[in-house]
Amino acid sequence: MEKSVIELLEQVTGQAHIVDLTHTMESGMPAWPTQARYGAVVYESYDRGDMALHSMVTFSEHTGTHIDAPKHYIKDACPINELPLTRVIGRGVTIDATSVPPRGVLPVEKIKEFEAAHGPIRKGDIVMFRFGWDLKYRLQPDCHDYLSDWPGLSSEAAEYLCGKAVAAVGCDALALDAFGNSMDDPAHHILLGQGIPIIENIDKLSGLPPFCFVIGLPNKFKDGSGSPLRLIAFVD
């Protein structure tokens, strides 16, 4: 007798190693200068004699580990509340890009080398590039190294992934376009222009094999340009 979907999911979650790819949302976390900082204000507390604890939190749509909806760069494109959930549910592909120097861009040849060694990238894959930048992640005021000189994806590589019809593309740096490489942010325009969302500030990609299973759930902000993302990977 075939197992039901529920039984299969129970088996997977019970046997797989789950890797949390999400940076903690907290005060002092690094942010691009033009974007709102994360902040929290305690409104109720046991220490004040209240029955419960709760806080008001404020943050940018692009705080921490987050996803860019197409609307982030393309005016009339899909906002985050209309982005299909399947965009960040599927096979994860992790490509080692640690050889790319600061401010450098990963050429399309590196993706083809990965495919030659491990197998082709498929339609619907969630492709993640490990630049090793998460190792520089620090809270303010010690986050200068994380907020500058990161590498990124070349426009040719972005075009190649569009041709593969991937579901999403991500990296462990502050942005998918290299720092100072181009004011035009070509990878953002190419991918988001084709409806492919971008995931940034991913943590712990070093703990993933070339292929795994990834689930990421954004908040459903009306007409939002993006959202913090709780991103996890299931590894055999």
Residues whose CB falls within 8 Å of the CB of residue 180, separated by 6 or more in sequence, listed in order? 103, 149
Per-residue pLDDT reduced to its tens digit, 168-184: 999 999 999 999 876 68
In angstroms, the CA 139 to CA 119 distance is 38
Token look-up 């190294």 returns 145
Token look-up 């940076």 returns 23
Rounded to 10 degrees, the C-alpha dihedral 188/23/21/134 comes to 70
State in words which class domain 5-30+61-235 has. alpha beta
Per-residue pLDDT reduced to its tens digit, 23-41: 999 999 999 989 999 999 9
- Checking if the pLDDT of 120 tops 90, the result is yes
- Checking if the pLDDT of 2 tops 90, the result is no
Tell me how far CA of residue 142 lies from CA of 88, 136, 151, in angstroms: 31, 10, 19
In angstroms, the CA 103 to CA 125 distance is 26
Q: Is the dihedral of CA 236, 163, 110, 86 positive or negative?
A: negative
- The amino acid sitting at 198 is I
Per-residue pLDDT reduced to its tens digit, 52-96: 999 999 999 999 999 999 999 999 999 999 999 999 999 999 999
| Average pLDDT value for residue range 183-206 | 96
Q: What is the pLDDT of residue 9?
A: 86
Q: What is the pLDDT of residue 184?
A: 86
Segment among 5-14, 146-155, 158-167 with least mean pLDDT:
5-14
Chain mean position to CA 203: 9
Q: Which residues of 184-207 are buried (b: 16+ CB within 10 A; e: fewer)?
A: ebbbbbbbbebbbbbbbbbbbbee
List, in sequence order, every residue forming a beta bridge with 130; answer none if it has no partner.
96
Question: SS3 for 221?
Answer: coil
